[in-house]
Amino acid sequence: MTADKTGPLGGVKVLDLSRFIAGPLCAQILGDFGAEVLKIERPAGEDSRHHGPYWQDESIYMFLYHRNKYAATLDTRHPEALGILERLVAWADVVVENYRPGTLEKMGLGYERMKEIKPDVILVSISGFGQTGPDAHRGLFDAISQASSGLMSMTGEPGGKPTLSGTYIADYTTGYQGAIGALAALMHKERTGEGQLVDVASFDTMFSALGIRLIAQLMLGLEMPRSGSRDLLTAPVNVYDALDGPIYVQAGTASLFARICEVMERPDLAADERFATVDGRMANQDYLEGEIGAWVGARTIAEVSRLLQDAGIPYAKVASVAEVAQSPQIAAREMVVEVEHPELGLIRVPGNPIKMEKTPPTVRKAPPRVGEDNAHVYGAVLGMTPEEIARLRETGAI
């Protein structure tokens, strides 16, 4: 069993009908905190299983979002599929899905039907544009969310093309929001006995994360341009090239600017009235960045880091993924977790970023291969006999 009876969600049963990132991540978060999660996918495996790169013929893409889950297969177009899904809904406390709105209804398993089967069921529906509104019918992937929400227009260098984030930030953030919605719904259910629909849209999630640019538009009608690696509100803040690579330096507040002037041995900059205020430094950041860049460029990252650290100025070497994955800080925070797979051997996956004193998240089961747990799901959970399971396999249902 993947359920952790000592975890805060021990005893909670989750049916994961989702695929790709946002939905599976939502279900995985619940699993990390002790829920028993059953993932249902088509017999050939969800599309993500066919994306490289691969480890022993298994897509490592799947390693990111499917630990602490049982994986079972089901052809949802098979004549017996609806009956099986209804039995799984009756078992579940929470159902997670990210089909396009209306798909579950076409399958005969919309939210109203789920409530008939399990009156207190919680349905977490994750979609591109939500269950309502003129764009509800539209399909969406992460990049579409970044483009449509305004995020892409903010990203990149001034005067350059809008740029995607380097990771699937919309999918990740939407998965987190889905998990928050599920937890709130579980709390409400505990208090009242009522289930509910949790409607989470990637578009909404990204729109809500636009920050100061959004509120500046709403309140002031102000359109803030792309700022590259600069800070929107303070200066000087940017990436500078040291002798052996880039380093990011945050010296935008009055106190930090005074400190970097001292570190650089430039009392003239500290005394210059042009740089005495935030507005003044923002107006003259090209000049200030040129002076700081020249100072950084004559030194190694280690030299700059030591001087800035001693002065209490925030900084960071612009690390590669390989460098940060091997850093002592990542090790200390247990952000890389090793889990043994019965067939694939040792797998390394990202740890859960939430650290809790009493009920920490755990990784108890490796990401499963396609259909790995059919016997458990159809046998132990649904009570089918080996003969019934074999018949379903023979008819192509699973």
pLDDT by residue (tens digit) across 75-126?
A: 999 999 999 999 999 999 999 999 999 999 999 999 999 999 999 999 999 9
Q: Which residues of 305-339 are buried (b: 16+ CB within 10 A; e: fewer)?
A: bebbeebebebebeeeeeeeeeeeeeeeeebeeeb
**Bridge partners (DSSP) listed for residue 58:** 55
**DSSP annotation string for 256-325:** HHHHHHHHTT-HHHHH-GGGSSHHHHHHTHHHHHHHHHHHHHTS-HHHHHHHHHHHT--EEE---HHHHH
- Dist CA 396 CA 43 (whole Å): 8
pLDDT value at position 5? Answer: 76
Domains of the chain by residue range: 13-209+328-394, 237-319
Residue 264 near residue 208, CB atoms below 8 Å: no
Alpha helices (H) in the chain, listed in sequence order = 22-32, 81-91, 103-107, 111-117, 142-149, 151-154, 169-192, 202-208, 212-220, 254-263, 267-271, 278-283, 285-297, 301-311, 321-325, 328-332, 374, 386-394
- Dist CA 73 CA 370 (whole Å): 7
Query: What's the token pair of residue 272?
Result: 């210059």
Helices (H) and strands (E) in the chain, counts: 18, 13
> Could you give the dihedral angle defined by the CA atoms of residues 166, 169, 172 and 176, in that order, rounded to the nearest 10 degrees?
140
pLDDT value at position 6? Answer: 79
Could you tell me which residues come within 8 angstroms of residue 97 by beta carbon, excluding any fewer than 6 positions away?
17, 18, 23, 104, 123, 124, 125, 126
Query: What's the token pair of residue 114?
Result: 């789920």
By annotation, the residues acting in catalysis are 171
> Could you give the dihedral angle defined by the CA atoms of residues 341, 347, 353 and 354, in that order, rounded to the nearest 10 degrees?
20
Give pLDDT tens digits along the chain (398 positions).
467 777 999 999 999 999 999 999 999 999 999 999 999 999 999 999 999 999 999 999 999 999 999 999 999 999 999 999 999 999 999 999 999 999 999 999 999 999 999 999 999 999 999 999 999 999 999 999 999 999 999 999 999 999 999 999 999 999 999 999 999 999 999 999 999 999 999 999 999 999 999 999 999 999 999 999 999 999 999 999 999 999 999 999 999 999 999 999 999 999 999 999 999 999 999 999 999 999 999 999 999 999 999 999 999 999 999 999 999 999 999 999 999 999 999 999 999 999 999 999 999 999 999 999 999 999 999 999 999 999 999 999 99
pLDDT value at position 56? Answer: 93
pLDDT value at position 2? Answer: 61
List the one residue out of 12, 198, 195 whose CA is nearest residue 119: 195
Q: How would CATH label the architecture of 237-319?
A: 2-Layer Sandwich (3.30)
Helix axes 169-192, 22-32, angle to 10 degrees: 50
- Dist CA 168 CA 171 (whole Å): 6
| Number of other CB atoms surrounding residue 74 within 10 Å | 23
DSSP state of 327: -
List the one residue out of 61, 53, 48 whose CA is nearest residue 20: 48
- Say whether pTM exceeds 0.85: yes
Class (C level, CATH) for 13-209+328-394:
alpha beta
Q: Same fold for the domain at 13-209+328-394 and the one at 237-319?
A: no
């390394």: which residue's tokens? 348
